[in-house]
Structure 1
Amino acid sequence: MGMYRDIDLESRSRREFIRAGAVFLGGMWLFPTLPTFGSAKEISLRTEVPWFKLPLRIMHTVLRETDVQDYDVDIVTNYVLKSGANVLCVNAGGITDFWQNPLPAANLNPFLKGRDILKDISEACKAKGIRVIGRVDFRGVVPEVYEKFPDWFAKNRDQRPMMMTYTKPHLHIACYNTPYRNDYANEYIGRVLQAYDLDGIWHNSPGYDGICYCPYCQEAYKAYNGRTIPVMGESSTEELDAYMGWKRYAADAYMDKIKRTIKSYGEDKVYTAEVFSMYEVGRRVNNGIDLKNAFDHFDILVSVAFLTENAENIHYEDYNYAQSIIKFLKSAAPEREAVVMYGGNGTSHRLVIEPSLDVKIWLWEILAVGGRFWNCYFTNVPTIAYDTRNAFVEEDANHFVREHAELLAGHVPVSRIGIYYSRPTRLHYRNELLEEEQFGEAIKGMEAVLIESHIPHDFILSEQVSADKLKAYHLVILPNVHCMAEAEVKLLTDYVNGGGNLLATYATSLLDQEGNPRKDFALSQLFGVNYGGERWNTRKDNYQFISAPEHPLVAEDAVKTQLLHQYAYTLKTMPLSSAKVICHAVPTVHNQPPDKAWVERLASEHPTIVEHAFGKGKVIYFANQPDVTTHQMGHGDARNVLARAVNYLVGEENLPKSNAPSSVHMGWTRSIETPGKYVFSLVNTSSGPKRPTRELISVHQLSFRLPLPGQQLISHKILKNQGSIHVVGEPGFVTIEIEKLEDFVAVYLEAEYV
């Protein structure tokens, strides 16, 4: 079957696979005691702390083949230093090699002319104190390489080569089990690390889509479960799910082998690759690389989060998504650097400027919650590109991190509110849902409410949930968490019974972890309602009747209205006798003809918003979708009731108070090494009505009062200001007055427990 045959996939047992895919515990959450490494200053001086756990500012020049013709290492390294970066990621190769690769499947850059770009740039970087990461890409090969080793690559069912059609030229795909991705790739990486002074490897595009029927996959799959590989459109859902599980196992074995090769050259050698979007769902048979693979293998957690997508019709991501991805990665692995890869107009229009002001805001958003930057720039460096207008756009943010690295090291977001991120629910969204919303819309809507209300939060990953983790939170938010295992149900029930608070929406816990329907909510005793067996499309001509006008969620509205907007889809529910119904569903009021736009009775017997006490805790349950509505259309009623629910359940004394407009985004991080050390920051997104942003509108006279339970401020330092900043401490609180905010301000705070 080819030149190489050292694939150890078959030797790993089914038990190992089950263990690898099981729930894992790890990372630490908000206020629990964490391992002590000393102060941030000590961290930077202690050799046992890996360089990749200190503040990173990465420049990534994704070279075209023609860029080597005038490649000037002095221009490149000078740009890295002037821009404030401390790491350069540069092409090694794979699809096209930028070094004199002697291996049999080499594809040397035709413009090298005997030159070794990797040698030149790595030596130049080390001479100037810049770390270097080599970029490799083994997703596929050009036809000339395929023809030399045709049995090294993925095959369709009829044994024709699987092709990557989104590339020009089309590439021949390599699956996880072939010699190209395994033996050849590992020998390639070993030679590169041995020959050049590199600090690690960036593994570009490690996944592949589809089903491979090459002899290696057929043999390995048969050895794993005794089955033949299923066929899309012919095989059952169960068979396809079994294949996808095995594909994750194969991907895990593949990445584990790559990492072991890299680490054999030193534990300080980095292995990293992109983590796909936290909202990416994938097809029933996807590329096999799940978020858990990334958390298990990568030394630096990198999420590709461009301002726009790689598409013909693009939109600009909400600014807060940059914050969200860092909060997500930090929640999963707080001890690791969380980095956003940005740049290049989402790669589809990479040769011209991407909106510079949007990029700057994007970077401040990342920094505000403890994240770092990876500028993925295509074609050499920005100063010698066709379009030089993006040159040094990252300079301010990079230099801020460099100047204050000692204070910023090892920071994670401050939060006592956790949004529950359910992996089973994400996987369930691969199936077509009746509601037709995309996975993540409920989370995005909930986040939008929290961010505009200046309420800090982070995420609770279902793979990491435990009783100890839940204890760190005043409030756990379940945004339409359809799928839930019995173990999760018990943890959440115990959490509320012990005094925790819960906010849940729509179909939360109505399915088990495999997506099978339950007759009732698994959390019905917490919600205070039973499921009535129906779901209604209430997107049009539907309302909610305010049944408890005195309740804090609706009291402000009830002065002037009996009705609230109804939200997206609604479940038929029946209240328990112990529940307090805040709003009831209104029968549909058809708007045409207007003469008939009435109903005999506004309030039905079916609640839409319920408060329920359980044990020592409280729960607010929405039978509808205010979170999805907030994301899709933003109606004020939906945003108001969600924000008030959070305030009610957490208590205003435990939340920041501010007069800032919602366009001012707050960042608040804490040191995981030294308790009591914080960085407070603000990002201004106040601008005109349309993205991309063309000008920022300064805001003035902002005030924030931050709760510091059991602590007293002892010192502070202004890190960046655009006017006067006054900081006043009192037991349990700190007040910060900001005269002017143009784009970004930051203050370092140090408190002690009293």
Structure 2
Amino acid sequence: MPRRSLLLLQTIIPGMKNRILLFYFLLHTTCLLAQNKADLWWKRNNLRVIQMNLPAYEAATINADSIVTDLVACSANTLLINAGGIMAFYPTKLDFHYRNPYLKDNNVLADIVRKCHEKSIKVIVRFDFSRVHESIFKAHPDWCYISPKGERIINTDMYVVSINAPYVQEKAFRIIEEVINTFPIDGIFLNMPGYQVNNPYEGKYHGIDQNEYDRKRFAEYSGGKALPVEENKADPLFQKYLEFKKATVEDWSERLHKLVKSKNEQIAICTYSDKFVDIIRHESQSMTTLPYWPYTASDNVGNAVNSFPDHIISNASIQQISFQSRYNAVEPEETRIRLYENIANGSGLDMSMMGDMRGYEDERNFPVFRKVYGFHKKNEAYFGKYKSVAKIAVVAPGAWPSGEPMQEYRGIQLMLREAHIPFDIVEDGQISHLEEKMKGYQLIILPEITYLKPEAIRILKEASQQGTHLIATNRALWDSPETLEALFGAKIEKKDNDGAGNYLVPDDRGIFKSFKGQSMLFWKFNLGLYDLSGADQKLLPGVGKRPPRPARDHRRA
């Protein structure tokens, strides 16, 4: 529109030609800059990511041509590959950045970036600042984690670091800056960000980091308090520590965002959190416990898409069985389910494997990648731009649910999915940021959501007053008994009560129509006891544990 108007003006007033052309050039350039700034490549939400998580020794053998050939064969449009942190996969000039000993003198990362770009494949480089090599630890032991018992977290020759020590707070930024200045990358991915308390390779918990830098920074934040040594949610000191962790991680993320975007706004930042991040990454990991949960991708993507509507979501199908069993992949049908669930719920495609695709120890999933990625490429115009029509919201207990709240949450989802009832998932901590959206649902379900922020409680109360129905299950809202009573007329008498052997009676057959021939329904797991005298209506009364039924008289039978 501006261009057409200016050209018409140039024709009508020839004497002003030079002035008009100059004005047009300035205006058109400004429009292009604004357009380019808004046209961030990841916003197209058509990611087809393949992550090659390279073991150190593969730096000696990886080949840029074969990598690009395999990416093209799989219809991938984004490569995620190692760059630095634990070790440099390029010839770093920084003495505190441990160089991969298998790298020799090559600069294969530069070749990979260049040849990917020749095929219009974006390159996101991986950083992991959670650990340092033993040589760095020996030079700077004060940079590393130390447990309440004085223990280090060690994996072979790698030591877990402290987030508030100089390695993460200063050196990490110099490493990232060196990579950005050296390679024309399209994004950075941060693996294992934040505070570490576990050794995932051994499945061992070590406790809250007691590094001196953490002690000093927490004292400054808390007005002189000492670090807690136990993770006790009932302890006000630990609650203060949780606030401290959140504040320090967000401070680091903001500094990173300023650094990266000052270099190039087209470099995407990708990690597992949302603040100062462009692409939120999640993971569908192998199920090593029962009951089997077939909806990991739907759960992960649905949660993030609805909880963080301004972000792009990339849910990775993790190929490895576990940390200890990295060279066997999950079954092809499991991978297929995850990838199609990604598409169905509004994400692109993403998979993570150990090493590159040549000489891989478990290639059974390769045909799945080629088929599903090819399907997405062919039909990408229809994907990633959905608008939910669901009238039901299920509140999730965080981004990475676990324990009994996870089982309750998954059970509610399973009932809705198998009944083919559409629903959105909203993370409990994001309710206060989605007030208008929450008030637009006809039904909100709280599956054992024990704690909500005061602002979220206010929103639920107002939604209820405006006609939204609420369902709360199991131990929901036990941290706020006044809210439980206000919304449901219920008072907790005993929140933990073994329900095995108890029964529920579907007394109102006008409501409970699916239990023909059953006068009682068995119960398992927790069955809390409540005073419901303040409720408007009571359904499904409970029947206590009953003795075994006496044996029948076989003569009469």
TM-score in terms of structure 2 length? 0.83
Give the C-alpha shift of residue 392 in structure 1. Answer: 4.0
Matching of residue 326 in structure 1 with residue 293 in structure 2: no
Once the two structures are superposed, what CA deviation does each residue of 1:145-178 show, in whole Å capped at 9, x if it has no partner? 22223333334568x6x5323x233x22221221
Give the C-alpha shift of residue 218 in structure 1. Answer: 2.6
Partner of 1:104: 95
Q: 2: distance between equivalents of 1:572 and 1:62?
A: 50
Aligned residue identity for 1:100: P
Q: 1: distance between equivalents of 2:522 and 2:287?
A: 32
Give the C-alpha shift of residue 372 in structure 1. Answer: 2.0
| Residues 187 and 56 of structure 1: CA distance in aligned 2, closer, same or farther (over 3 Å) | same
Once the two structures are superposed, what CA deviation does each residue of 1:254-308 show, in whole Å capped at 9, x if it has no partner? 22222222222111111112x3xxxxxxxxxxxxxxxxxx121221111122234
Partner of 1:371: 347
Give the C-alpha shift of residue 98 in structure 1. Answer: 1.0
Q: Is the 8 A contact 1:542 1:565 kept in 2?
A: yes
Partner of 2:385: 410
Give the C-alpha shift of residue 116 in structure 1. Answer: 1.1
Once the two structures are superposed, what CA deviation does each residue of 1:478-526 show, in whole Å capped at 9, x if it has no partner? 11222245543443232222222222223332323xxxxx3xx524354
- What percent of counterpart residues are identical? 20
Identify which of 276, 279, 285 aligns with 1:306: 285
| Residues 412 and 397 of structure 1: CA distance in aligned 2, closer, same or farther (over 3 Å) | farther
Q: Is the 8 A contact 1:136 1:203 kept in 2?
A: yes
| Residues 120 and 455 of structure 1: CA distance in aligned 2, closer, same or farther (over 3 Å) | same
Matching of residue 90 in structure 1 with residue 90 in structure 2: no
Matching of residue 117 in structure 1 with residue 85 in structure 2: no
Aligned residue identity for 1:545: V
Once the two structures are superposed, what CA deviation does each residue of 1:391-413 show, in whole Å capped at 9, x if it has no partner? 24312221222122222143354
Once the two structures are superposed, what CA deviation does each residue of 1:711-742 show, in whole Å capped at 9, x if it has no partner? xxxxxxxxxxxxxxxxxxxxxxxxxxxxxxxx
Once the two structures are superposed, what CA deviation does each residue of 1:555-575 show, in whole Å capped at 9, x if it has no partner? 342x42322223533333344
Give the C-alpha shift of residue 118 in structure 1. Answer: 1.4
| Residues 317 and 250 of structure 1: CA distance in aligned 2, closer, same or farther (over 3 Å) | farther
| Residues 424 and 193 of structure 1: CA distance in aligned 2, closer, same or farther (over 3 Å) | closer
Partner of 2:503: 543
Q: Is the 8 A contact 2:131 2:159 kept in 1?
A: yes
Partner of 1:459: 425
Q: Is the 8 A contact 1:164 1:173 kept in 2?
A: yes
Give the C-alpha shift of residue 585 in structure 1. Answer: 1.2
Aligned residue identity for 2:217: A
Matching of residue 175 in structure 1 with residue 136 in structure 2: no
Once the two structures are superposed, what CA deviation does each residue of 1:367-386 show, in whole Å capped at 9, x if it has no partner? 111122221110222x4223
Partner of 2:513: 555
Give the C-alpha shift of residue 58 in structure 1. Answer: 0.5
Q: Which structure features the higher share of helix residues?
A: 2
Aligned residue identity for 1:371: S
Partner of 2:406: 440
Partner of 1:569: 526
Q: 2: distance between equivalents of 1:461 and 1:346?
A: 26
Aligned residue identity for 1:569: N
Q: Is the 8 A contact 1:95 1:140 kept in 2?
A: yes
Give the C-alpha shift of residue 186 in structure 1. Answer: 0.4
Partner of 2:202: none
Identify which of 324, 332, 357 aligns with 1:356: 332
Matches within 5 A, 1:207-606: 207=194, 208-209=196-197, 210-232=207-229, 237-273=235-271, 275=272, 294-308=273-287, 317-342=292-317, 343-381=319-357, 383-421=358-396, 438-462=404-428, 463-465=430-432, 467-512=435-480, 518=481, 522-527=483-488, 529-531=489-491, 533-535=493-495, 537-549=497-509, 551-552=510-511, 554-557=512-515, 559-576=516-533, 579-591=536-548
Give the C-alpha shift of residue 467 in structure 1. Answer: 4.3
Q: 2: distance between equivalents of 1:399 and 1:480?
A: 40
Look up the SS of the partner of 2:538 in the other structure. Answer: strand
Q: Is the 8 A contact 1:307 1:317 kept in 2?
A: no
TM-score in terms of structure 1 length? 0.62
Q: 1: distance between equivalents of 2:507 and 2:315?
A: 46
Once the two structures are superposed, what CA deviation does each residue of 1:19-59 show, in whole Å capped at 9, x if it has no partner? xxxxxxxxxxxxxxxxxxxxxxxxxx977221112210111
Q: Which structure features the higher share of strand residues?
A: 1
Q: Is the 8 A contact 1:547 1:581 kept in 2?
A: no
Once the two structures are superposed, what CA deviation does each residue of 1:525-567 show, in whole Å capped at 9, x if it has no partner? 542x432623463532211223323x22x1342x423222235
Give the C-alpha shift of residue 594 in structure 1. Answer: 6.0
Q: 2: distance between equivalents of 1:295 and 1:301?
A: 6
Give the C-alpha shift of residue 345 in structure 1. Answer: 2.4
Q: Is the 8 A contact 1:442 1:479 kept in 2?
A: yes
Partner of 2:10: none
State the aligned residue count. 503
Matching of residue 69 in structure 1 with residue 60 in structure 2: yes
Partner of 1:50: 40
Give the C-alpha shift of residue 458 in structure 1. Answer: 1.1
Partner of 1:201: 188
Query: Which runs of 5 or more structure 1 residues have no equivalent in the other structure?
Result: 1-44, 276-293, 430-436, 513-517, 596-754
Give the C-alpha shift of residue 447 in structure 1. Answer: 0.2
Look up the SS of the partner of 2:394 in the other structure. Answer: strand
Once the two structures are superposed, what CA deviation does each residue of 1:210-247 show, in whole Å capped at 9, x if it has no partner? 43333322322222223243352699922233223212
Q: 2: distance between equivalents of 1:136 and 1:218?
A: 26
Q: 1: distance between equivalents of 2:328 and 2:494?
A: 51
Comparing both chains, which one has the higher relative contact order based on Cα–Cα distances under 8 Å and sequence gaps of 6 or more?
1
Q: 2: distance between equivalents of 1:404 and 1:425?
A: 31
| Residues 361 and 146 of structure 1: CA distance in aligned 2, closer, same or farther (over 3 Å) | same
Q: Is the 8 A contact 1:89 1:134 kept in 2?
A: yes
Look up the SS of the partner of 1:232 in the other structure. Answer: coil
Aligned residue identity for 1:452: E
Look up the SS of the partner of 2:505 in the other structure. Answer: strand
Q: Is the 8 A contact 1:531 1:571 kept in 2?
A: no
Give the C-alpha shift of residue 449 in structure 1. Answer: 0.4
Query: Which runs of 5 or more structure 2 residues have no equivalent in the other structure?
Result: 1-34, 198-206, 553-557
| Residues 445 and 584 of structure 1: CA distance in aligned 2, closer, same or farther (over 3 Å) | same
